[in-house]
Structure 1
Amino acid sequence: MLAAVNSAVVVGLQAVPVTVEVDVSNGLPSFDVVGLPDTAVREARERVRAAIKNSGYEFPLQRITVNLAPADIKKEGVVLDVAIALGILGATGQIFSQGLKNMYVVGELSLDGTIRPVNGVLSVALMVGRQKGWGAIKKLAVPLDNYYEGALVEKIEIMPAPDLATLIRYIQEEDAPKPPEKKVSGSEEYSETKPLDFSDVHGQHLAKRALEIAAAGGHNIILIGTPGAGKTMLAKRLTTIMPTMTLEESLEVTQIYSVAGLLPKGQPLITTRPFRAPHHTASANSIIGGGRIPVPGEISLAHNGILFLDEFPEYKRDVLEALRQPLEDGKVLISRVNAAVTYPANIMLVAAMNPCPCGYLGDIKKECLCTPPQIMRYRNRLSGPLLDRIDMHIDVPRLEIDDIMKNEKGEPSREIRKRVEQARAIQLARLKSAKVYCNARMGPQDIKRYCHPNKSAQKLLKESFEKLNLSARAYNKVLKVARTIADLAGKAEIEDLHVAEALQFRTMDRRYWE
């Protein structure tokens, strides 16, 4: 007898429908799985066998053939366990196979029949929700712990199943499992674990202003200064002034973390912008993504948030150069023999570095001990094309003792964030037709359309372009930053003051590299 169950596997970020066809026939007892299964799928035979018996059903001592269609797609992971078990029970007549055709099923089986949570449920739910037309299936059975993750997608019916027996009762319309009672929000967790604030930072007014501009426009930024000047402290507090994510941005981030298996327990929707800070010994695969089975890297886990690279020149050269294309395109294409997948990487890069190996070049209090060749080798670890992709270069000088000993608090993050959100709201309204969220993501056509400097600003741009020998990319970066400064000031037109402030954030590479 033949039975078919609808399921799905995740390839990259997208879910691909898979039909699990099960045929049970007379012959010597065997259990074969075909259709490009990986090791985890082949091992499902033993999990399914034990789960069926321990759920009160009989496992057939016959010839069992399971086909995973389409057969040309590699099937990886444990998401097909429940579908295989239901297919066997339907093919042997122990449950009504007709009810299996009107739903999708994902989940991992334990030996006692419990259905364990799996990665990528949000991607599967989005795939189900996109189906249209006659005969479209709008039901999805998921593990109980994945219920709220799947329920983020509207207009589909999510069926939480704690175990195989409960799911079978639901299919046979005897009973309906109830969802979990409590849903923990991401904002609650954020308030308990991130008590950072810009009011803790003494002095560094120029750096604070630069970070406000960077947050308002989503611009990449590099902080250059002596050890202990506060570069890391400033970078970690940048998340507290970033604008609130839209629902669409939250779903994008949540989908990446769901596929990567990093979605926090009890937090079905990530509502705060990610802040990723990998160590400088990280490999290119861990930063960009990849591996034999492609998985998201740190740059994708920081999507719609911040990727903080401390001790920037200490990263391996191949890692730094691999950042160039994602910073420009906002996505990462990973090609492997098994698959070619694309992950989003719309990030705000925040880098921090010392001006030299010892860190005290140009310091007024402590003498630099580095030789010129050492300084040159240190600086040459950062290529010109990479620096060209960083919008703003900020000097973070040593703090004076008077600034350190002051007890007065600086401006709190909530006040800075109000200005940032006002500027970002202006950008969202302006760039709605271009389908981008901030000024930093504007393309060449968007720059021509929305960045209009007045005559005095044009003259200043022309003179600066010739004197500073800026590239065409750097020219566009200056215009984008100036557009953000104008948005913070509530100005529709870019004025010379806005351009002048933007230009001072492009001259740091000239100071240190010429």
Structure 2
Amino acid sequence: MVARSYTVAFEGVEAHQVEVQCAVTPGLPAFSIVGLPDKAVSEARDRVRSALASMAIALPSKRITINLSPADLPKEGSHFDLPIAVALLAAIGIIPEDASEGSVSLGELSLDGSLVAVTGALPAAMAAAEDDRALLCPSASSPEAAWVAATQVIGAKSLADVVRHFSGQSPLPPSEPGEVHHAKASKDMRDVKGQERAKRALEIAAAGRHHLFMVGAPGSGKSMLAARLPTILPPLSPAEALETSMIHSVAGLLDQGGISRARPFREPHHTASMAAIVGGGRRAAPGEISLAHNGVLFMDELPEFSRPVLETLRQPIETGKVMIARANAHVTYPCRFMLIAAANPCRCGHMFDPAQACARVPNCGEDYLGRLSGPLLDRLDLRIEVPPVSFSDLDLPASGDTSEVVASRVKMASDRQLKRFEGLAGIRANADAHGSLLEEIAKPDAEGRDLLSKVAEKFGLSARGFHRVMRVARTIADLAGSDTVRKPHLAEAISFRLRLQTEL
């Protein structure tokens, strides 16, 4: 007799169905697992045997074979423990066979039979819903999985609970979704004194999800500004929250099963490897750019990152997704993030400070910022200089708009974009518009077109630069509540595009 249970194998954020087949046949006592298992899956037999022994269930003195089908799909992770145990319990008649086939299960077993939380419960619930099956998982993982309303999620604390549930002795109740976590603003844009132009650039970037590059002396407030960006961003929509949470679920970063409506803010150190930034490793895990999906990736000291790491950002910035190619798998992760980059003007940081003149000016700046390639800089929509703040500005009381006021303007512009792109798949902000759609929504008036042609001819804007100016101008017009892109909107967008280009 062959008993079956079902689970999933993860490939990026996609969960592929796996059928766990268990056969108990005459022969020398043995317990083997086949179907391309990794080391963690192969070790499941010892955890399952010990868990059953803790329940006083003895395995028959026969040959036990577990097959994970399809056999050519790599199986990785300890979450195969529970489906293997369920199939085995059905094969030896402890639980009904039809009960084991009616659900998708995943979970790691302790030696005493208790169930340990595993990663990927949310995408597993999505896969179970597509197959019209319930999901059985550890109770610690059930709150995140229960956010998928299309399927029933059952959380169990131990293998004994699973046996009592399937045998009908003590059915387990459906799990409830975890809490919704909202952003807790402990910082405010009003804390930043001076830097009005940088605040304006930050507001434009937040409204249209544009990439921003800040260059300034040490202590001028670049990191302070970037840290306050999340306080002016609109909350994640339900669809965006689900997309982001699926990536964080695979990475094991969901907080107690709750789904956050706050946009991710990732700030990797400049010593991070390519696998840490882009994704990779033994299990092709998501990198920082994917963990920042629908949020912000802040890269401080941008020229200090290794050249290969920086160059790998070029394609994800354009496409919004990254493919991690390995010998045994090709995994694609979404990575539609907003890049906020910061850098000193040179290694010492005082190239533009006459009080601390450097003997190597301007070569020190050219050497330092020369580490950033032209194609990468061409993809950054807004470029600003962040000058040092004078003591007279620091001594003044806090002034300017609070994060709440700025966030309301950003929300208004964001709502205009959502309405504009309603029904267009994959387009939610002006930064996503391209081709004929961009020409339609960002068509400037006659004066604006004349200005744009003169600037493009004088400064040699690339085609990409031209389109990014148009996107930024469209966002500025949205912040102003204008349906038409006018000359002042284009002039401001051009000033953010060319300011550093002429200085560098």
Q: TM-score range by the shorter chain?
A: over 0.9
Which residue of the other structure, out of 224, 229, 247, is the alignment partner of 2:238?
Answer: 247
Matched residue, 1:293: 283
Q: Are the counterparts in 1 of residues 295 and 338 from structure 2 also a CA contact under 8 Å?
A: yes
1:238-317, aligned counterparts within 5 Å?
A: 238-264=229-255, 266-317=256-307
Q: Are the counterparts in 2 of residues 200 and 410 from structure 1 also a CA contact under 8 Å?
A: no
Matched residue, 1:335: 325
Matched residue, 1:325: 315
Q: TM-score of the superposition, structure 2-length normalised?
A: 0.97
Residue by residue, what CA displacement relative to the aligned partner does 1:263-312 show, whole Å, maximum 9, x if unpaired?
22x24212111111111111111101112321100010111001000011
Matched, 1:427 2:417: yes
Matched residue, 1:177: 172
- Amino acid of the residue matched to residue 257 of structure 1? H
Alpha-carbon separation, structure 1, partners of 2:196 and 2:18: 56
Alpha-carbon separation, structure 1, partners of 2:162 and 2:360: 68
Matched, 1:400 2:395: no
- Amino acid of the residue matched to residue 149 of structure 2? E
Matched residue, 1:156: 151
Residue by residue, what CA displacement relative to the aligned partner does 1:204-258 show, whole Å, maximum 9, x if unpaired?
1111011000000000000111111000000010010011110111111110011
Alpha-carbon separation, structure 2, partners of 1:252 and 1:112: 35
Percent identity between the aligned chains?
44
Per-residue deviation, 1:152: 0.8
Q: Are the counterparts in 2 of residues 223 and 394 from structure 1 also a CA contact under 8 Å?
A: yes
Alpha-carbon separation, structure 2, partners of 1:484 and 1:491: 10
The worse-fitting range, judged by mean Cα deviation, of 352-361 and 309-318 is 352-361
Matched residue, 1:59: 59
- Amino acid of the residue matched to residue 37 of structure 2? P
Residue by residue, what CA displacement relative to the aligned partner does 1:463-491 show, whole Å, maximum 9, x if unpaired?
01011110000000000000000000110
Distance 1:349 1:57, change over 3 A: same
- Amino acid of the residue matched to residue 363 of structure 1? D
Q: Are the counterparts in 2 of residues 293 and 338 from structure 1 also a CA contact under 8 Å?
A: no
Per-residue deviation, 1:407: 1.7
Distance 1:87 1:182, change over 3 A: closer
Matched residue, 1:378: 368
Q: Are the counterparts in 1 of residues 206 and 410 from structure 2 also a CA contact under 8 Å?
A: yes
The secondary structure found in structure 2 opposite 1:90 is helix
Q: Are the counterparts in 1 of residues 147 and 178 from structure 2 also a CA contact under 8 Å?
A: no
Which residue of the other structure, out of 349, 353, 356, is the alignment partner of 1:363?
Answer: 353
Matched residue, 1:128: 128
Per-residue deviation, 1:61: 2.4
Which residue of the other structure, out of 222, 234, 239, is the alignment partner of 1:231?
Answer: 222
Matched residue, 2:37: 37
Alpha-carbon separation, structure 2, partners of 1:6 and 1:78: 15
Residue by residue, what CA displacement relative to the aligned partner does 1:397-428 show, whole Å, maximum 9, x if unpaired?
11121110012343210110000000000000
Q: Are the counterparts in 2 of residues 119 and 260 from structure 1 also a CA contact under 8 Å?
A: yes
The secondary structure found in structure 2 opposite 1:79 is helix
Which residue of the other structure, out of 199, 209, 217, is the alignment partner of 2:190?
Answer: 199
Alpha-carbon separation, structure 2, partners of 1:446 and 1:57: 65
Alpha-carbon separation, structure 1, partners of 2:178 and 2:214: 39
Q: Are the counterparts in 1 of residues 189 and 401 from structure 2 also a CA contact under 8 Å?
A: yes
1:480-491, aligned counterparts within 5 Å?
A: 480-491=471-482
Matched, 1:449 2:440: yes
Which residue of the other structure, out of 194, 203, 217, is the alignment partner of 2:208?
Answer: 217
Matched residue, 2:117: 117
- Amino acid of the residue matched to residue 412 of structure 2? Q
Q: Which ranges in structure 2 are unaligned for 5 or more consecutive residues?
A: none
Alpha-carbon separation, structure 1, partners of 2:359 and 2:293: 39
The secondary structure found in structure 2 opposite 1:80 is helix
1:457-496, aligned counterparts within 5 Å?
A: 457-496=448-487
Alpha-carbon separation, structure 2, partners of 1:467 and 1:425: 35
Alpha-carbon separation, structure 2, partners of 1:467 and 1:219: 24
Residue by residue, what CA displacement relative to the aligned partner does 1:309-346 show, whole Å, maximum 9, x if unpaired?
00111110001101000000000011101100100110
Q: TM-score of the superposition, structure 1-length normalised?
A: 0.95
Q: Are the counterparts in 2 of residues 9 and 79 from structure 1 also a CA contact under 8 Å?
A: no
Matched residue, 2:84: 84
The secondary structure found in structure 1 opposite 2:497 is coil
> How many residues matched?
503
The secondary structure found in structure 2 opposite 1:160 is strand
Q: Are the counterparts in 1 of residues 9 and 17 from structure 2 also a CA contact under 8 Å?
A: yes
Q: Are the counterparts in 1 of residues 26 and 62 from structure 2 also a CA contact under 8 Å?
A: yes
Which residue of the other structure, out of 309, 318, 334, is the alignment partner of 1:344?
Answer: 334
Which residue of the other structure, out of 387, 410, 430, is the alignment partner of 1:439?
Answer: 430
Q: Are the counterparts in 2 of residues 185 and 267 from structure 1 also a CA contact under 8 Å?
A: no
Q: Are the counterparts in 1 of residues 191 and 398 from structure 2 also a CA contact under 8 Å?
A: no
Alpha-carbon separation, structure 1, partners of 2:265 and 2:220: 21
The secondary structure found in structure 1 opposite 2:259 is coil
